[in-house]
Amino acid sequence: MNPAEQALKEFYSWKDKLHFEARTITDEEIRVVTETLIEETPIENWTGRASEKYHPQDERGWCGNLIHTLRVVKIGRLLIQCVEHSRNQEEICVAGCILHDSFRYGLTGRSEWSVKDHAGVAATALELMNTEASKAIAEVVKTHMGQFWKGDPYFPKLEDAGAINLFIVQADFIASQQFVIVEV
C-alpha cells in the first residue's frame, strides 16, 4: 500500500468511529442531520490539524481535527452525566460535539489556517438544513468557543448559558489540553 492509500485508510478508520458515535443517537432527525453534515463536510476539514500550538501532539497532523472531535465527544458524553438531563438534551450535546469543528477550515476546507469563525460557518450550514434538530444543534455549535471567541457575542454570559452549551465549551477546552490524555 502506498503512502496516499495508507493515509486514506487511516482517515476512513477515524471517520468510521465518528459515524459510530452518530449512530448512537436514537432521535432520527438529530441522527440524520448529524450524519448528513459529517458526509457533506469537505474531507480537508476532517484531515486537517486541530491546531499547531494548543492541542495534543497527535491532533497537530493528519486527521488531527477528527481525532480532536472524537475526544470532545467522549468528554461531552461524560460531562452531561453530571446533571439531570433528557435524552434529547444528551443527543443534541453529542451532535454538537461531533459537529463543533466540522468547518474548521471553512466551507470548502481549503483554508490554510483554522477559520476564526468556523463555529459560525458550521452553524450556518446547520441552519440551512432548516429542521428543528439542525437549528438546535446550530445553537450549541456556534457557542462552542466560549470566551475564546472575540467576534460577535455568540456566547452568552454564564448565568444565561444553557448546560449543553457549557458542556460543549468545556469538552472542547479539556480535549485541547496537551496534558489531558483521552484515548479514542
**Are 18 and 69 in contact, with CB atoms under 8 Å apart?**
yes
**Could you read off the pLDDT of 57-81 as tens digits, one per residue?**
999 999 999 999 999 999 999 999 9
**Separation of alpha carbons 93 and 83, rounded Å:** 13
Q: Residues 131-183: pLDDT tens digits?
A: 999 999 999 998 888 777 666 655 555 555 677 888 899 999 999 999 988 99
Phi, psi of 53 (to 5 degrees): -135, -20
Nearest to 47 by CA among 97, 89, 110: 110
Domain count, the chain: 1
Residue 1 has pLDDT above 60, yes or no: yes
Position 147 scores a pLDDT of 73
State which residues form the domain around 92: 3-175
Whether residue 183 is contained in a domain is answered as no
- Asked if residue 19 is part of any domain, the answer here is yes
E strand or H helix at 165: helix 163-175
Residue 125's pLDDT band (boundaries 50, 70, 90)? very high
pLDDT at residue 152, rounded to an integer:
61
Residue 147 domain flag: yes
Residue 182 counted as domain residue: no
113 dihedral zone (left: phi>0; alpha: psi -120 to 50; beta) = beta
Averaged pLDDT of the chain: 90
Does 158 map to a domain? yes
55-69 burial string, b = 16+ CB within 10 Å, else e?
Answer: bbeebbeebbbbbbb
